[in-house]
Amino acid sequence: MLPLLQINNLSLSFRTSGVILPALRNISLVLKAGEMLAVVGESGSGKSVTALSVLQLLPQNAACIDGGEIWFSTDGMKAIDLLKLAPPEIRSLRGNSIGMIFQEPMVSLNPVMRCGAQVMEPVRLHRKLNRFEAREEVLQLFKKVMLPDPELLFDKYPHQLSGGQKQRVMIAMAISCKPALLICDEPTTALDVTVQKTILELLRDLRKSENMGMLFITHDLGLVADIADRVAVMFRGKIVETGTVKELFSNPEHPYTRGLLLCRPILHHKGERLPVVSDFLNGGKKQYAKFQETALRNASLDDGAPEPKKSEILVSVKNLDVWYSSGKTWLGREKHWVKAVQDASFDIFTGETLGLVGESGCGKTTLGRALLRLNKPGSGSISYENRDLLAMPDAELRPFRKNIQMVFQDPYSSLNPRLMVGSALSEPLRIHEPSLSRLERKKKVTDLLQKVNLQQDVFSRYPHEFSGGQRQRIVIARALTLSPGFVVFDESVSALDVSVQAQVLNLINDLKREFGFTAVFISHDLSVIRYLCDRVMVMENGRIVETGEAETVYSHPKTAYTKSLIDAIPGKGLKVDS
């Protein structure tokens, strides 16, 4: 019986401005019906290019197939080479026999089309249902992917949904025609751990009920431990290791695989410097053992970050409420109030890192933005060094903002695409420190870029020329340009590869030691919070339900909700022989 998908010696390159850039080199994969094959690797390893090659979605003017075959069979008796199909033939398979969950739902969804209508489109096209039947089918799909209020979300636009909700709309669209092959390109990367667990369980159930083959692309080996049958590890356009999940986790052979497994923060104590993939590629086990010995010695030095002085309160929040209106009727009355933050009261001590954790939509980001007066609270008080931020007039608030900064969740959208990085980082200095000359501003910015491990040539390049990890370093540098005393990090590592995530977490620890700022770190991942933070606050439905020392909350959660967040961490019980 023929496999569902078989890729034989696929090689592909990109040609731009006369330069040939190899992307895939002799890739070979086999996927059977009802099987889940995980393709794992960092950004740039070739995972998404492989997936897009299957559906011929790569730009024809830039991508060139240098050799190989991609065979697809739905009945196990006859296979077709997808690379030889005419455009109309491949279009009949896309979204029908082969579905795909794209990595970035905000980019993949049509921003001017309602969510329900977008999911109805492939249903009506491929399954020939009328409008009423298609609408009922979409509502059932929304229920299946556990979207709240399907009727309400049906008529909403993508920008009105949270990141997790947009991802679930994308999944509903991908499975709407019950495809034989489902390609999942990082479908849970930016989702909170409980939604991630729900989505993975949904995909597992679909695979069993529909005998659906799945090609699951991810950068996190811990994630696939619970769901995949087999794993292929990609590195620089090649497959360097394949095997069953059990084989790969019990005895990883390639140093790159070992690095992906061991650089996750869940396997390390607070203050212990996280390893990165290069530590393994440059010397394997011996190099890693030497690295760990040095890291532990450095963590114990007295010149590290000072312990928070809990008698000194930097920020004090009392009975804070932030409500949003969901819209108005034609009479001008409010339709519904969304209670994003309810009766929040807490203190942030000078020098500490306070973790804020919870599911998507629980109010974390709203609370973080309210602390900096980027959102307007309905009631309550926020004081910074005994100064009432909510009562501060705009004329006084603008110069004060140099003391309070934010690292936003999406570094690409928070950088002006038309400004070079040097100009973007110099802008705060021009406003708040006008006495500095142009050369002084440039020197300060280049020095700061070096502190976040970026080269001087970054100054004259645009944001689109950088990887996700590099852009994250740039926005961290921008937040620190004015040497603030208080920084809010909003999901700053949630969408990064595990190795790049380790680099950024190490960087945050290093910068905190050097600059001595106080921080709030917002995340949906308690394993990251446990590694980075001194204390943690858990939010549920706009309320703070638990507060305590990070290790205590992680090891001995008091509420069922916190326990569910911890239990949902992928690969939590995974142990690897280093």
Averaged pLDDT for residues 445-456: 86
Give 220 or 289, the one with higher predicted confidence.
220
- What are the Cα distances from residue 181, in Å, to 19, 164, 289? 34, 23, 42
Give ∠ CA 150-155-158 in degrees, rounded to 5: 95
**CATH 3.40.50.300 is the classification of domain 5-97+180-251:** yes
Give 426 or 410, the one with higher predicted confidence.
426
132-186 pLDDT, tens digit per residue, is: 999 999 999 999 888 889 999 999 999 888 777 888 899 899 999 989 999 998 8
Give 10 or 409, the one with higher predicted confidence.
10
Nearest-Å Rg of the Cα atoms of the chain is 25
Give the pLDDT of residue 126: 93
* Domain-wise residue ranges, the chain: 5-97+180-251, 109-178, 351-378+385-567
Q: Residue 552: which residues within 8 A CB-CB, separation 6 or more?
A: none
Residue 540 pLDDT class (50, 70, 90 cuts): very high
Look at residue 71 and tell me whether its pLDDT is greater than 90: yes
The answer to whether the beta carbons of residues 511 and 476 sit under 8 Å apart is yes
How much is the mean pLDDT over the chain?
A: 86
Residue 327 pLDDT class (50, 70, 90 cuts): low
> Which of 225-239, 337-351, 448-462 shows the lowest per-residue confidence on average (mean pLDDT)?
448-462
Domain 351-378+385-567 class in CATH: alpha beta
The answer to whether the beta carbons of residues 415 and 427 sit under 8 Å apart is no
Averaged pLDDT for residues 32-37: 93
C-alpha 236/C-alpha 226 separation (Å) is 26
Angle between helices 498-515 and 255-262 (to 10 degrees): 50
95-104 pLDDT, tens digit per residue, is: 899 999 987 7
Q: What is the H or E stretch that residue 234 is in? A: strand 230-235
Q: What phi-psi label fits residue 12: left (phi over 0), alpha (psi between -120 and 50 degrees) or beta?
A: beta
Give the pLDDT of residue 571: 67
Give ∠ CA 7-12-15 in degrees, rounded to 5: 165
352-366 pLDDT, tens digit per residue, is: 999 999 887 788 999
Residue 300 pLDDT class (50, 70, 90 cuts): very low
Give the pLDDT of residue 298: 46
Look at residue 215 and tell me whether its pLDDT is greater than 50: yes
Q: Residue 429: which residues within 8 A CB-CB, separation 6 or more?
A: 436, 441, 444, 445, 481, 482
Give 289 or 124, the one with higher predicted confidence.
124
329-345 pLDDT, tens digit per residue, is: 666 676 667 788 999 99
Give the pLDDT of residue 287: 55
Look at residue 577 and tell me whether its pLDDT is greater than 60: no
Averaged pLDDT for residues 435-462: 88
Q: What is the H or E stretch that residue 247 is in? A: helix 245-250
Are the folds of 5-97+180-251 and 351-378+385-567 the same? yes
